[in-house]
A and B are shown apart, each in its own frame.
Chain A
Amino acid sequence: MFANVDWADIGKATIDTLLMLGGSMVLTVILGVPLGVLLYLSGKGRLAANPVLNAVLSFVVNVLRSVPFIILLIVMLPVTVLLVGTSLGVAGAIPPLVVGAAPFYARLVETALREVDKGVVEATQAMGGSTFQIVTRALLPEAMPGIIAGATVTAIALVSYTAMAGVVGAGGLGDLAIRFGYQRFQTDVMAVTVVLLLILVQILQMIGDRLVAKVSHR
């Protein structure tokens, strides 16, 4: 059992996966939330309704979301090199991960914002709130359960994306599974990496659920 497993490699790969996940998740939230807010605000009948902006944003988001991640990884290679100087390792994996996940997360943020009762927006307007105040003090706090639930879904999608990023030399558990588990037929390595990924997903879901419960007051 586990004859082929090099636990030091597994440890390093786990840390790489966590770094890729953490780094790309932070950037995904930083880009995805404002993008989601813009999609929402520019939508029909919303505070800053702007059909042209909305159509452009929507188109870009849809294009990025429809490109299979494995293709995105390859297409992004020159851009990645330009941005972080390398297309390898943790740093090289983060740009394609963010480009793959941020549009997805932005849609989830937009959906969460749409769930907020229009009356809350109207009431805040009636109190003399500016559009910025309406977004930051009313809409985002009210949509927080949905925004966090969306972040959980996105983080879990990112776990599987990091595994795929192994294909272009990103390192991490997915890389280990492909190079040793699949290409060298070391089933035990494959099993260990899959179990670790599974545990990671479970932990993410649990954290997400707890946070949602904490901010829900319905």
Chain B
Amino acid sequence: MIRLEGVTRRYRSVAGDRTALDAVDLHVARGEVFGVVGRSGAGKSTLIRAINRLETPDAGKVFVDGQEITALNPTELRAARRGIGMIFQHFNLLNAKTIEDNVAFPLRLEGRPETEVKARTAQLLAQLGLADHAKKHPAQLSGGQKQRVGIARALACGPSVLLCDEATSALDPETTEDILTLLDGLNRDLGLTIVLITHQMEVVRRVCDRVAVLKDGRIVEQGATADVFLHPQHAVTRAMLAEGEEAVDASVAPAGARMARLTFRGPSTYEPELSCVARTAGVDYSILSGRISRIRGEPYGQMTVAFTGGDAEAALAQLAARGVVVEAV
């Protein structure tokens, strides 16, 4: 659906050149929710803007829906952009226009007949629960409502792709959850392909099928969200995931304990695997830290466990045999 091949973007300034994107290759499948994470300045913003060519790459090719975006002339580019919706951190609504006129705006830019514009706008406002606000101006709405208007506007021309530029970063946690549920629904119901950039790992955990980690304009790691989040390979990914989590304090483990990190995935998360194995192997265990949650709906549990007494190695081997991923700590 979306393919980036060797996309490079450099910014020139008196202070020296800076490479925002360095030969990035990326593929996003149709109907997928794809997340790009990274620290500020990693090139996320440039990456998402390369997709609809708000940033024109210095080198490389961008394809969306089979069309080479980087090869289009200005008129063709404008037509292609109508098939790519975009929402923004600060919503970027037109303050001078009513909510209704904001949603109708892309349709009017395209020059659709006014009767069609009215009908489509009314339908979108109803779909996003904004019907009561049609005649208001953006300044009268809350952040979450403004982002809903942004989404309605982005959907107006019936895009096949939605680009989300830090779409929830200016929202409180509750409103973020509300917007994520909405995006998730659009992906499932309309089969909308979504690319989102964010520095909030929770956003990726919640909605992304796959994720890429960006550092200094390069993708350092990518894969299914659960794989990347449960078994991060790159230091940046680890560091970003570790934020807000309490580090395991190994000193609290009993003396002579065998420590291991166990990862359960899928339905086995809720099975008494650890307890069964401990009983048969005759070991005791204490859980030093852990989390049981879901990534993109898939349950998982990950915990650091200290085994004492009995044959810890045998216990770990049994756990591994039952599909639990065992890593030394």
Binding site for B on A (CB under 8 A): 117, 119-120, 122-130, 133, 137-138, 141-142, 144, 215, 217-218
Q: Write the B87-106 contact mask toward A (1 if CB under 8 angstroms, else 0).
A: 01011111111000000011
Instruction: Determine the residue in chain A with the shortest Cβ distance to B97.
Output: A141
Of B54, B90, B96, which is within 8 A of A125 by CB? B54
**Is B320 an interface position by the 8 A CB rule?**
no
**Known contacts A127-B105, A128-B78, A137-B109: does B90 contact A217 (CB below 8 Å)?**
no
Contact with A along B120-164 (1 / 0, CB 8 A): 000000000000000001110000000000000100010000010
| Bound Cα distance from A127 to B77, whole angstroms | 10
Q: Are B138 and A217 in contact (CB under 8 A)?
A: yes
Asked whether, in the complex, the Cβ of B82 is within 8 Å of the Cβ of A122, the reply is: no
Find out whether the CB atom of A119 lies under 8 angstroms from the CB atom of B96: no
CB of B228 within 8 Å of the partner chain: no
- Assembled-state Cα–Cα distance A157/B97 (Å): 31
Distance in Å from the Cβ of A123 to the closest Cβ of chain B? 4
Chain B interface residues (CB < 8 Å from chain A): 52, 54, 74, 78-82, 84, 86, 88, 90-97, 105-106, 108-110, 137-139, 153, 157, 163
A143, closest chain B residue (CB): B96
Also in contact, A119 and B82, with CB within 8 A (given A127-B105, A127-B109): no
List the B side residues contacting A217 at CB < 8 Å. 95-96, 137-139
Identify the closest chain A residue to B106 (Cβ): A127
Other A-B contacts than A126-B84, A130-B74, A142-B95, 12 sampled, CB-CB below 8 A, are A119-B90, A119-B91, A119-B92, A120-B92, A120-B94, A123-B86, A126-B81, A127-B157, A128-B80, A129-B78, A141-B96, A218-B139
Q: Could you tell me the distance in whole angstroms from the C-beta of B328 to the nearest C-beta in chain A?
A: 48
Are B54 and A126 touching (Cβ within 8 A)? yes
Q: Distance in Å from the Cβ of A147 to the closest Cβ of chain B?
A: 11
A-B complex: 3 closest residue pairs judged by Cβ atoms = A119-B92, A123-B92, A217-B137
Give the residue among B96, B106, B138 with the most A Cβ atoms within 10 A: B96
Report Cα–Cα, A128/B79, bound state, in Å. Answer: 6
Chain A residues closer than 8 Å to B91, beta-carbon distance: 119
